[in-house]
Amino acid sequence: MSNIEQTLSIIKPDAVERNLDNEIKEVFKNKGFSIVKEKKIQIEKSEAERFYKVHETKPFYNDLCAYLSSGPIVVMILQKENAVLGNRELMGATNPVEAEEGTIRKKYGISIDKNSVHGSDSIDNAKIEIDFFFKD
């Protein structure tokens, strides 16, 4: 039975700044993801704080929100069979030094903060995160 899902992907400021957004979009497409919607935007720190609210008690929360709002990002709705898990596998571990060969964070990530991409970690969060950026 098919299980088509949608998930939210963000190409983070470090990757957009290095003009890697088109190359990273090709990685997704070559792995069978459709990009259903996308936009290049820059968000306010207050919006980043709302987006990453689940991390608000973490010591890295302030830097994380400052970073996500520091430059343009590309937000995308990705779709394919089992998209949530597939995207997480394609991204690799949060820390690029721990990410496996062939993953986006291994190839493009600079550090645990500048790890080039974000992806929803569950189907429920995918819905919330898609609505966050694309609710009309």
Residues catalogued as catalytic: 118
Q: Which residue has the tokens 């069979």?
A: 81
- Integer-rounded Cα Rg, in Å, for the chain is 14
In the bound state with ligand CMP, the residue whose beta carbon lies nearer, of 4 and 54, is 54
Its sign, for the CA torsion 31, 123, 71, 58, is: negative
Least separation, in Å, of the C-beta of 102 and ligand CMP?
A: 18
In the bound state with ligand CMP, the residue whose beta carbon lies nearer, of 2 and 52, is 52
Nearest residue to ligand CMP, scored by beta-carbon proximity: 118
| Cα–Cα distance, 59 to 131 (Å, whole number) | 27
In the bound state with ligand CMP, the residue whose beta carbon lies nearer, of 38 and 136, is 38
Least separation, in Å, of the C-beta of 135 and ligand CMP?
A: 20
| Cα–Cα distance, 90 to 124 (Å, whole number) | 19
Q: Is 98 in a helix, a strand, or coil?
A: helix
Binding-site ranges for ligand CMP (CB under 6 A)? 55, 60, 64, 94, 112-113, 115, 118
Least separation, in Å, of the C-beta of 113 and ligand CMP?
A: 5
